[in-house]
Structure 1
Amino acid sequence: MRVLLIAGGWSDEREVSLSGAKGIHSALLELGHEVDMLDPAQDFGNLMSRASQADFAFINLHGSPGEDGLIQAILNRTSCPYQGSGPESSFLSLNKAATKTIFDHNSILTPKWELICSIDGCKGIQNLKPPVFIKPNSGGSSLGMTFAKTEQEMQYGIEKVFSMGDSALVEEYTRGIEVTCGILGDEPLPLILITPPEKAQFFDYNSKYAIDGAEEICPAPIEEKLTKQIQEITLKAHKLLGLSGYSRADFIISETVPYILEVNTLPGMTPTSLVPRAAKTAGYSFNMLIEKLIELGKNR
């Protein structure tokens, strides 16, 4: 089968995307597929023509133009199927405020939040006091995130996000442990407990990708009842957002109460990334996971 592997792009997460694409490329070759690589930042204008010549597209993009649904919308204008979710659900999920609106409306617990925009008349932070997390509303990999413990740090965090050209999502700090749960098809994967290194204030970019980053334990050593509850919430969120194929939801467990933080529609896909790690615990090798995602994409 001819697979168009789409990676790179123009977001701040470009290097993460290219790094993950190396493992996917190797896996596709080992599975007997013919691989054609396309970087939207370098060959966007030929996307439709090259997709029309492929049997399948495997998207490994983070941020825009993959997680925002743009690539999927273009692929929908060709005969080329792809793995993962479609344009609308991808767009909704990348926007943190949009997903939290859906969570709140459907009684899924998420930390209190406010959306702050850099426009005249925006009132700024009204209801939250430090400590808070301040994040780009449509970014990933914890890039641009600030853990603000003072009013001054809050203002710095907002200005930092605005300098990136984004609106700011301010989220109440919830003390607890962090876990993540993946979905493959319609089945929740084993939970992963994430413990950032002592020097890190939270699960930041360095904790995610550095050699000496966070400790990740799978399956997470938490009680079965709570594990099932988080898996059920993850599947509910997956369906409410209209997602397909796979996704990953991040949680904070405060005492015994899980709060969902956000949902990722194109999770990292290096062999040691979170979803591949959980899939391995569930019995899928990395190559098997890639093949499963292709199968799900073709059958969608």
Structure 2
Amino acid sequence: MSKKHVAVVMGGYSDEYKVSLKSGQLIFDSLDRDLYHVYKVIILKDEWFFLSENDEKTAIDTGDFSVNLENGEKLKFDVCFNIIHGSPGENGILQAYWDAIGQKYTGCDFYQSALTFNKKDTLAVLSKYGIPSAKSIYLRKGDEIDEENIISELSLPLFVKPNQSGSSLGISKVKQQSELASAIEIAFKEDDEILIESFLDGMEVSVGVIDFKGETIVLGITEIVPQNEFFDYEAKYEGASEEITPARIDDETRIKVEEISKKAYESLGMSGFSRSEFILMNGTPYMLEMNTNPGFSPASILPQQAKIYGISVKDLCGSEVEKALNKI
């Protein structure tokens, strides 16, 4: 059996590209060389390129996502392992392009990516399946902002978030009305649509869910104990939080979180890696968001959960490639 050609596609157009490069490196290192030829492809705003073993760049031919090698051969990939966080790999843009040229790839499809990257729409769809979330107000750039109404609807403290940004960029916790206008301005710098949400006072948990060998499994429930006011970019990527796996919750709550996480994953028709964030309040899990391409660097939550669950990173990544190869 000839080895399949796998491109680990990393980078992205947002500030998260640095994390994606670390995630991509872990996947690149972990894939089984007895089964696959593994390559690095980096997608940035101004260039898409193939990185050779001696770190030489070759431009990607975007007509069919191939590479013209120095020896005159054309390299086509059997599978692209998509590990881009944020745009264009987590919001459906890349998946739609790959679908159009017939390129197989890991993770969820164009629709699921686009939907889950939009917090408002994800929560609206999931509410139909009985999955609760915070009370919220949605604003587009240019909408009139009625501070009194926002505060009377949601009360203080509250959160202001970009609707479509990853990595907790542009999120603020507002404790008094005087902070609201600048929080809204910060969020609008990241996105043209924002969500203002009521504050849920409870434990934040991060839940890894994957489909592995034909089954939806919850890898683990991680309790997030931020040193800052909430699980922001610094807490996520610069170590300013304590992550406890498994979370310190009783069995009844754990089962409830597992069930609701699986239900959310399956209701949205998800595939591949996912990490959902919830706040547990009075025993009820409230959904904050779902990430379809969560961080996968050695420091990230998902690989840690897999280790505790007993699935090696090699098996986790290999399973994704095999699923993608078997797509029709």
Asked if TM exceeds 0.5, the reply is yes
Taking the aligned partners of 1:242 and 1:224, their CA distance within structure 2 comes to: 27
Alignment of 1:250 onto 2:240: no
Taking the aligned partners of 2:34 and 2:293, their CA distance within structure 1 comes to: 21
Alignment of 1:178 onto 2:204: yes
- The structure carrying a bigger strand percent of its residues is 2
Q: Which residue of 2 aligns with 1:193?
A: 223
Between 287-296 and 152-161, the greater mean CA deviation after superposition: 287-296
User: Identity over aligned residues, as a percent?
Assistant: 34
Are 2:165 and 2:191, in contact at CA under 8 Å, matched by a contact in 1? no
Are 1:31 and 1:287, in contact at CA under 8 Å, matched by a contact in 2? no
State the TM-score, normalizing by the size of structure 1. Answer: 0.92
* CA apart distance, 1:31: 5.8
- Within a 5 Å distance, the mapping from 1:37-186 to structure 2 comes to 37-41=40-44, 42-43=47-48, 46-50=61-65, 53-120=76-143, 126=150, 127-185=153-211, 186=216
Taking the aligned partners of 2:312 and 2:240, their CA distance within structure 1 comes to: 23
- The structure carrying a bigger helix percent of its residues is 1
* CA apart distance, 1:234: 0.8
Structure 2 unaligned segments of length 5 or more: list them.
50-59, 67-74
* CA apart distance, 1:213: 2.5
Taking the aligned partners of 1:120 and 1:107, their CA distance within structure 2 comes to: 30
Aligned length: 297
Structure 1 unaligned segments of length 5 or more: list them.
none
Q: Which residue of 1 aligns with 2:237?
A: 209
Corresponding residue SS for 2:100: coil
Between 100-109 and 200-209, the greater mean CA deviation after superposition: 100-109
Corresponding residue SS for 2:107: coil
Opposite residue 292 of structure 2, the aligned amino acid is T
User: What CA deviation, in whole Å up to 9, does each residue of 1:164-210 have, x standing for no partner?
Assistant: 3431111111111111111121112221111112xx11111111111
Q: Which residue of 1 aligns with 2:10?
A: 7
Taking the aligned partners of 1:239 and 1:29, their CA distance within structure 2 comes to: 29
User: What CA deviation, in whole Å up to 9, does each residue of 1:38-69 have, x standing for no partner?
Assistant: 22221286245235810110011111101111
- Within a 5 Å distance, the mapping from 1:216-295 to structure 2 comes to 216-295=243-322
Report the CA distance shift for 1:233/1:47 in structure 2 as closer, same or farther (over 3 A).
Answer: farther
RMSD: 2.0
Between 231-240 and 90-99, the greater mean CA deviation after superposition: 231-240
Q: Which residue of 1 aligns with 2:24?
A: 21
Runs of at least 4 residues off by over 3 Å = 29-32, 120-126
* CA apart distance, 1:122: 6.5
Are 2:32 and 2:314, in contact at CA under 8 Å, matched by a contact in 1? no
Report the CA distance shift for 1:31/1:231 in structure 2 as closer, same or farther (over 3 A).
Answer: farther
Are 1:182 and 1:248, in contact at CA under 8 Å, matched by a contact in 2? yes
* CA apart distance, 1:277: 1.2
Corresponding residue SS for 1:89: helix
Corresponding residue SS for 1:24: helix
Are 2:127 and 2:133, in contact at CA under 8 Å, matched by a contact in 1? yes
Larger radius of gyration: 2
Report the CA distance shift for 1:227/1:218 in structure 2 as closer, same or farther (over 3 A).
Answer: same
* CA apart distance, 1:105: 2.5
Taking the aligned partners of 2:210 and 2:91, their CA distance within structure 1 comes to: 20
Report the CA distance shift for 1:183/1:67 in structure 2 as closer, same or farther (over 3 A).
Answer: same
Are 2:234 and 2:240, in contact at CA under 8 Å, matched by a contact in 1? yes
State the TM-score, normalizing by the size of structure 2. Answer: 0.85
Opposite residue 22 of structure 1, the aligned amino acid is Q
